[in-house]
Structure 1
């Protein structure tokens, strides 16, 4: 079986080639070990093997990611019943073994197309669906919800880091910095901490036949300000899709203007991160360039 090479992202620490993935299955879930492995993909935090037609294997590729996967295993079974879109709730758990150091998951395969690979105008068809899904998630979280220092927090806590990343070589840097300043000046979130997906960019969205078919990668799940999720309005859609997304969101939650100002600032903050490794992650870089242009347009 041919596998893709390990991306050159400096934070990736461990690869899981086909022989190791199959050995782990044979050791811990032997009833799945004969299913074909195919379609290996890498993200910044996890590696995914498709397993047969209906399942996938999800392996952390760096130590930090292992805690994110634990978060998915604990909380996705709790959250999935309230969400109107499929999410990859783990169906099996894997443990460290055979030289692989962390917990891993067997999850359902969510069929469809990665939204980031679809034409932006076509996404308007499911903009209301994404708004509905996030609105269902954005409800008060329990006191033991996970904490994430990078998502759902006050922008003031992230300002210095974000501002330092908005260097002149970032597309539309001046507009992004203006959006960040506006977000920092906006009234901070003062409501109850709500569930926050943490990373709903179009690389983590699946569409099919004009509908939102899946919401993936809950590793950054936390509680806090929903504005960091609402940034997807600029990351995923053009102006037409954003209008639909905002309108549907407002029907459910009626967030104030300050929340949307903070959301645009969060969108600006994600741009340099998405652009950080364009050769290794061209799809994410394209999302970053699109988000920069959308923030600059208003």
Structure 2
């Protein structure tokens, strides 16, 4: 578990920019909203963002994104962050940090969506395209650097069961979800996965998917973790559209349900989880159970 990191605010960003990239000194700096957990993001002027890891356990993500985002961008039609500069530790801030091009749009958690089924197709199509990106031998593999996304669900199953017991919601159905998620593994060659397809990492413009943010957990392995958005956001009507379009087998879908149940349980058991996230994960928990009953 990562320990508490340094204080990251506009003043720190201003000092770092002034010293290391003086051509951008004096540009207005505004904290992004909503903020992520692993990294803090600030808008710099009209066309730039600054991204800083919040603690040591996330410091590798900036280096990974700087290495792999330009490669992924060449194969993807939807916009992804474009790293421009890599900053170095200074002013008491101990990690590498990055300056990226600003991407226009509004995060999905705040956006109005006129056609959810169309969005479900766009999300699924992006994931299909991501899976098709060639996998280099040195591409990141599942493990600590991907927060174990893309690896076997077995890594998180004990935590899921413990959280469900703590919430007093463990049942034969939740046992079924976890058991089915554990019963298979990705048997095909490893493919690219994003690792954190959530409502604050998806950009919407004019009701359409316009960009995908935060590739800090990305890697190559099992793409099941990327399907969790089907339960955290999509409705019972649009979820089948997503499932058909994403084109993965039933075992992968069952592993995705396990990932979704784990995420819901650990969020709901956390007393510090924001209310918006608790509401989202209560919805996901119920959606997983309905999805099982519909099989």
For normalisation by structure 2, the TM-score amounts to: 0.88
Shift of 1:86: 0.9
Matches of 1:32 and 1:135, distance apart in 2: 37
Where 2:209 maps in the other structure, the secondary structure is strand
For residues 174 and 21 of structure 1, do their structure 2 counterparts lie closer, same or farther at Cα, with a shift above 3 Å needed?
A: farther
Residue 203 of structure 1 aligns with which residue?
200
Residue 181 of structure 1 aligns with which residue?
179
1:217 aligned to which of 205, 214, 218? 214
For residues 200 and 172 of structure 1, do their structure 2 counterparts lie closer, same or farther at Cα, with a shift above 3 Å needed?
A: farther
Residue 4 of structure 1 aligns with which residue?
none
- Structure 2 residue 295 is matched with structure 1 residue 297: no
Determine if contact 2:163/2:269 at 8 Å carries over to the other structure: no
Where 1:20 maps in the other structure, the secondary structure is helix
Matches of 1:200 and 1:241, distance apart in 2: 16
Structure 1 residues 56-205: aligned runs within 5 Å: 56-118=49-111, 123-139=116-132, 141-149=135-143, 150-169=148-167, 175-185=173-183, 187-205=184-202
Residue 17 of structure 1 aligns with which residue?
9
Residues 129-148 of structure 1: CA deviation (Å, up to 9, x unaligned): 11111111113522211123
For normalisation by structure 1, the TM-score amounts to: 0.87
Determine if contact 2:27/2:44 at 8 Å carries over to the other structure: yes
User: More deviation in 233-242 or 66-75?
Assistant: 233-242
Specify every segment of 5 or more residues in structure 2 that has no aligned partner in the other structure, as ranges.
none
Residue 237 of structure 2 aligns with which residue?
240
Residues 246-297 of structure 1: CA deviation (Å, up to 9, x unaligned): 12222xxxx2211111111111111123335565533333322221121121
Matches of 1:22 and 1:38, distance apart in 2: 10
Count of aligned pairs: 285
For residues 15 and 148 of structure 1, do their structure 2 counterparts lie closer, same or farther at Cα, with a shift above 3 Å needed?
A: farther
Specify every segment of 5 or more residues in structure 1 that has no aligned partner in the other structure, as ranges.
1-8
Matches of 2:160 and 2:141, distance apart in 1: 19
Determine if contact 1:204/1:216 at 8 Å carries over to the other structure: yes
Shift of 1:199: 0.6
Where 1:151 maps in the other structure, the secondary structure is coil
User: More deviation in 68-77 or 153-162?
Assistant: 153-162
